[in-house]
Structure 1
Amino acid sequence: MTKIFFIGILFVSVNLSGSTKCFLCDHVQYPYACETVTTCGPDEICFIQEVVTQTGNVAFNSGCMPNTRCTNASVTYVGKRSGHSVRDSYDDITACTECCQGDYCNMKGCNAPEIPTDQRGLYCFACDNGNPENCTNVNMCQKGELCFLYTSVGKTYKSQCQTQALCDLLSHGLSKICDPVCCKTDFCNDQCRHA
């Protein structure tokens, strides 16, 4: 019985650690303007979709889609889409749907370019409480800012963009439920480093 229980835990751990993280938005002007992320299910990958609204505006939707709907690198669908999304719409005309594999790969696609990393700030998680690993809000920081994660009074986790100077200053004066994190790569402020 113990062996079966251990195998079950190992199986669940493997599935969770292999989950893809994708941007999740409806009707944003550009894919990189999305400020929400989600974790896909075990049989899902990221998608980006370009649509033309009833008013004639071009907009982008993103989220997770079942692998079975993404057999080609680039596919086009018309009508209602499935997968995680903020809302479904029958009113939009779908111009393009592309699927991709890898965390946050749907910040570009359908002929919408990604902003080069030397022309933008970092993508950082931006949440005020709860487990930092469950944060689904992201911001594109100003150039030169770092991603920051710390615990405030009352054991609340906060993640945000921060300047190097303030990051250094706040790192020394905060409650240390976990060590404050100042980091310099996209999406790096989702893990608490315990003191």
Structure 2
Amino acid sequence: SICRSVLLSVCRSVLHSLKCYSCENTASGCNHTCSSEDICSKDTTKTWFTQTGIEDGLKSWGCIPNEYCFGHVLLQTKLKVGITKRECCQTELCNKGVITVVIPDKKNGLRCWSCDNDNGENCAEPTITIDCVDIGTRCFTLYSNSTGIEQFMRGCASPSYCSIDPEIGTDFTCCGKDLCNASQNVRATIGTVWLAVLSLWLF
């Protein structure tokens, strides 16, 4: 019957829900029950501002859809190096503990054009190059006005960053050769998953 079907559906949802730690910058004294399609996660994000040497960081624990479990990503421009490590799990309160993140400085041999119009510069004609570090083995180019504010960036990215949710925001372009990100014709619409990761350290 319809009533029995609804009851079974509710029971399945309860049986498959997870309880996860859910908070920012402390994993003690807070928990949250995820919906049936979510998993537990924990992540640490660090940003190093290259001009000032200042580091900023954020630790968080929570419940996320499985497709948000992107692992280890890096994004680098001439102004910032940002790195996020995320781990996911599917048992009760499994996301305890802290992930350690160290800002990398070892060059990997790739060079990319870099600019960031947060600094008021014209990114359509890049003039500065940077040496990519660590897992940033791709050059990227981004143009977006999806939030109503025009944004244009170039720099280095990890392959994992370039592959986040390829069905959304696929016009965010990556390439793997020296100075390959000089194209002036990029127009991108940032997808929900991609923007969530970007906002962890750029804004």
TM-score norm. by structure 2 comes to 0.39
TM-score norm. by structure 1 comes to 0.40
